[in-house]
């Protein structure tokens, strides 16, 4: 299975991506993580990318596109891959599509976790971390997982906030890029949707409502992906 996953920050894309990776046993290729690895190792690529990443901007296509296309050619991608964080604009989407066509590779599914901007922002800013267990979900803006006063709703543990979750400016900047239908990630998604319309439903587009609790989103996503295999 070759899958691309889209979803704004706060949509649970990382969590759903991890489930897909396990289920289909394919490498989860995250452009942001590749950049962070290169920065940590001090590679040339890392040095070039760092200044953009630190400013919250996209790394230029000349760096990003070849990096991802090379990654997809590695051995562990032979039986499929899950691409996450790329493409983030229409030119990356087009470059990816053209490169895959050239290699005779196809995209089996383009997954979009659909979540409106306001909800996505609240998801991030309302998140509270339980000191006893980071997997205890608590969010002051989501009724289903509202903390018990100022304590964890599951174990009563003390709650803290992640400082980057409260950086409203950074969240807005990321969402500006994601929800931009002209030059941003939404435009990349629309590129595949248009393609699919013209091309008899290929690549397959799978839209999943990102509003329900994580497990329900996973259930819907998996049933739609499994239907593709039948």
Smallest gap from Cβ 131 to ligand AMP, in A, equals 25
Nearest in space to 71 (alpha carbons), one of 47, 35, 20, 107:
35
52 binds ligand AMP (CB under 6 A): yes
Asked whether position 59 contacts ligand AMP by CB under 6 A, the answer is yes
Q: Output the smallest distance, CB 39 to ligand AMP, in A.
A: 9
Question: Strands 127-130 and 159-160: what pairing?
Answer: antiparallel
Q: Which is nearer to ligand AMP, 90 or 147 (CB)?
A: 90
The sign one gets for the Cα dihedral 75, 81, 85, 90 is positive
DSSP string, 37-78: HHHHHT-HHHHHHHHHHHTTPPPPHHHHHHHHHHHHTSGGGT
In angstroms, what is the minimal distance from the CB of 60 to ligand AMP? 7
Q: Which is nearer to ligand AMP, 112 or 145 (CB)?
A: 112
Are the C-beta atoms of 145 and 213 separated by less than 8 Å?
Answer: yes
88 binds ligand AMP, rule: CB under 6 A: yes
Nearer to ligand AMP, 53 or 100 (CB): 53
Pick the binder of ligand AMP from 24, 86, 178, 191 (CB under 6 A): 86
Give the CA count within 13 Å in the CB-facing half-sphere of 98. Answer: 8
16 lies in the site for ligand AMP, by CB under 6 A: no
93: contact with ligand AMP by CB under 6 A: no
Contact (Cβ atoms closer than 8 angstroms) between residue 188 and residue 87: yes
**Contact status, residue 9 vs residue 20, Cβ threshold 8 Å:** no
Rank residues 45 and 221 by Cβ distance to ligand AMP and give the closer one: 45
Of the two residues 159 and 189, which places its CB atom closer to ligand AMP in the complex?
Answer: 189
Q: Using CB under 6 A as the criterion, which residues of the chain lie in contact with ligand AMP when the complex forms?
A: 31-32, 35, 52-53, 56-59, 64, 85-86, 88, 92
């Amino acid at each position: 299975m070759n899958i691309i996953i889209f979803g704004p920050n706060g949509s649970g894309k990382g969590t759903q991506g991890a489930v897909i990776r396990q289920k289909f046993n394919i490498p989860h290729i995250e452009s942001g993580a590749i950049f962070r690895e290169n920065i940590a190792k001090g590679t040339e690529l890392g040095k070039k990318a760092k200044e953009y990443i630190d400013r919250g901007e996209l790394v230029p296509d000349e760096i990003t596109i070849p990096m991802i296309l090379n990654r997809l050619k590695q051995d562990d991608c032979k039986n499929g891959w899950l691409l996450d964080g790329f493409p983030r604009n229409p030119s990356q989407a087009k470059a990816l599509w053209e490169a895959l066509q050239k290699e005779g590779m196809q995209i089996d599914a383009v997954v979009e976790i659909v979540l409106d901007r306001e909800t996505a922002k609240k998801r991030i800013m309302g998140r509270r971390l339980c000191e006893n267990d980071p997997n205890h979900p608590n969010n002051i803006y989501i009724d289903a997982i509202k903390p018990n006063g100022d304590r964890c709703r599951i174990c009563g543990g003390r709650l803290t906030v992640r400082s980057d979750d409260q950086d409203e400016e950074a969240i807005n900047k990321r969402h500006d890029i994601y929800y931009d239908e002209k030059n941003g990630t939404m435009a990349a998604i629309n590129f595949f949707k248009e393609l699919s319309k013209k091309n008899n439903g290929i690549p397959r587009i799978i839209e999943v409502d990102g509003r329900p609790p994580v497990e329900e989103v996973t259930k819907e996503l998996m049933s739609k992906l499994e239907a593709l295999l039948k």
